[in-house]
Structure 1
């Protein structure tokens, strides 16, 4: 077992940190509070090749994998600039299109995903289905040379800042009357596709939307891979989303702990830095331990995925551990700051919201525990 990063990984980490750090939390929080997208940071990361590190070199990418993309997610977040859309555009869409898409789909979408000039977000969640994809109602029906989509998707991130949506739809039912799923690339300006803002109290640059598909017609060539093969394709994308989500959580935890440690070293009460008191130091130390453990599991999951090995349980564990670590780090940081933990000047509350989101999405803690209980412990399925 070798835990040493390669020279290339260290260089990547340093380069991402330098670019994201040049924008920093001040830029990120200003965008979040003003409801603006982080276009400048996204563009800088794309031009440097960091948003496409997992895209094949033939399409302008770096030819790497989830290990490299996780470094990008973690380091940007550690500088106070978590890029949520990397999880869907680079991790899900680029991976799925790169693995299953036709030559035409790859040539059309991967170069833009590689250089950051294009975003393709992901639409699977529905208001009535939740985590139960077998209840998915959005359907696609073949009509001549086209597919026609109808239905509704819920809590879809970043559709106001994307060129296309990778949509999961029902295209039939199998012998056991379970939904057969297929994936389609749908440009956001396709007639019949309507977007409605979904207000949330999360302070973040990326917004949530409800998507309505009303006889949305797309060419047959927009089908990704084979009709009815959507379950396999979806899980090829969901593990990368969970791995990069875990990396995002690790980065947020690192950011919060760095701010808290600096405050605890400099803030003095009764003539001594508050960091000298175990009541302050121990929660921060505990959060750092949890963060390092989450980082190890994240790296393991990414390593397995990049080698084509089963990584479902490890991806879920990494996401669970990182979300918990991020929440504990933020809470410890806020407690260290006392009343200042709520002050806009110190900018901790928006990261608390992002960390709390990671405990719910893209899969909640309870479903992860169900997965580990069933697949890791061999317990009866509970749902």
Structure 2
């Protein structure tokens, strides 16, 4: 059977919907909410109205049941409008994924209903102040007490952490067991002993809420345990192996926006008596940006296809995430260079593209961690 690179009619319609939404609902307010460091709830509500929020939840639980390829098609378009605003639904899908992977039918019914009956978000709480990339060295402690677990500890850099209806929290029940002593608990908004403190002063993605989560004798029902005790590390890693792919898609969206803005400006700006688009030095920059966008998109689609086929995707996801995020940062950087002094000012959107996409090299596992994953795959043969 020949390889088919075309999208289905349904995927094309989904792409059109997401593209129109980004142009009409996200791009016009992106700079405002970046400056205010606030979550644009009216955009979240409209995402829910058109079905683009929490769309990976299966149909039987009230969602659209979209696959990974559909998720990345949407992701590129929304991130074109604003990577910070796109991080809101992307991080919600990150919080949903552990429940999809390890939740029981009853848990999916219970938690997903909270995410589909109204505009609502999920979150994923793994990172801690002292162990961002060392996921096996958790200090947040979960102690079984009858029909509850008592949580104590602090999580940080948690997207949607203060807004989320449900937060999947990873904690240790036996520190001496390291990664084998980790469990995953779903903590619901409003649970006593659970507090969220918003972090301010971020370089970029300021329209997305980032939080420190504090748990002080927080009693969580044992019925909220995903899988079994000891499954937490595996659940977290399997989640990240999937959700790095939407980060790559967002990076492609940012890079495409950088290319479009740079090409538009190059055709308008004149120097030495002609548009700078006619200068070979500018053309080479635009060509490099285009090469990066097309290559990153193709590989991101490949990683998404592997996921949808149920094939191993950790290696491909790591490549897609690392390559696309670094390519996008360079594309934004070159877009600023083409704009010259204007690119350094808020008047044009390219400086924000650079600030926003830097985080894509850090969250969902730093790109250094991605290189470790890739190297292990190479060395394993």
- Report the TM-score when normalising by structure 2: 0.94
In the other structure, the counterpart of 1:292 is 294
Shift of 1:264: 0.7
1:167 to 166, 169, 185: 169
CA distance in 2, matches of 1:342, 1:134: 41
Distance 1:144 1:3, change over 3 A: same
Contiguous gaps of at least 5 residues in structure 1: none
Q: Which residue of 2 aligns with 1:27?
A: 29
Aligned counterpart, 1:79:
81
CA–CA separation in structure 1 for the residues paired with 2:284 and 2:227: 51
Q: What's the offset of the Cα at 1:229?
A: 0.9
Structure-2 change in CA distance of 1:51 and 1:116 (3 Å): farther
**2:56 equivalent to 1:51:** no
8 Å Cα contact 2:124/2:168 also seen in 1: yes
- In structure 2, what is the Cα distance between the partners aligned to 1:177 and 1:288? 44
**Map of 1:346 onto structure 2:** 348
Determine the C-alpha separation between the residues in 2 that align with 1:37 and 1:262.
Answer: 29
In the alignment, the residues of structure 1 paired with residue 196 and residue 352 of structure 2 have an alpha-carbon distance, to the nearest angstrom, of 25
CA shift in 2, pair 1:128/1:296, >3 Å: same
Distance 1:256 1:24 in 2: 16
Higher mean C-alpha deviation, range 154-163 or range 64-73: 154-163
Which residue matches 1:282? 284
Alignment of 1:104-115 (within 5 A): 104-114=106-116
Secondary structure class of the residue paired with 1:154? strand
Structure 1 CA distance for aligned equivalents of residues 212 and 82 of structure 2:
28
2:176 is equivalent to residue 181 of structure 1? no
Residue 17 of structure 1 corresponds to 19
Structure-1-length-normalised TM-score = 0.93
Count the aligned residue pairs. 377
**2-side partners of 1:185 and 1:284: how far apart?**
46
In the TM superposition, 1:14-163 aligns within 5 A as 14-80=16-82, 82-90=85-93, 92-114=94-116, 117-163=119-165
Q: Contact 2:68–2:304 at 8 Å: present in 1 too?
A: yes
Q: Which runs of 4+ in 1 moved over 6 A?
A: none
CA distance, structure 2, for counterparts of residue 60 and residue 48 of structure 1:
14
In 2, the alpha carbon distance for the partners of 1:114 and 1:255 equals 31
1:369-380 alignment to 2 at 5 Å? 369-378=371-380
Moved more, 252-261 or 108-117: 108-117
SS at match of 1:214: strand
**Post-superposition CA distance 1:194-217 (Å, at most 9, x none):** 223333332421132221111110
**Secondary structure of 1:135's partner?**
coil
Q: Does the CA contact (< 8 Å) of 2:26 and 2:43 recur in 1? A: no
Deviates more, 1:186-195 or 1:320-329: 186-195
Per-residue CA deviations over 1:298-344 (Å, capped at 9, x if unaligned) read 11111111222110010010001110111111011101100000111
The alpha-carbon deviation at position 116 of structure 1 amounts to 6.2
Contact 2:75/2:250, CA 8 A, preserved across alignment: yes
What residue number does 1:240 align with? 242
| Residue segments in structure 2 that go unaligned for 5+ positions in a row | none
Once residues 245 and 68 of structure 1 are traced to their aligned partners in structure 2, the CA distance between those partners, rounded to angstroms, is 14
How far the C-alpha of 1:232 sits from its partner, in A, is 2.1
Q: How much has 1:179 moved relative to structure 2?
A: 4.1
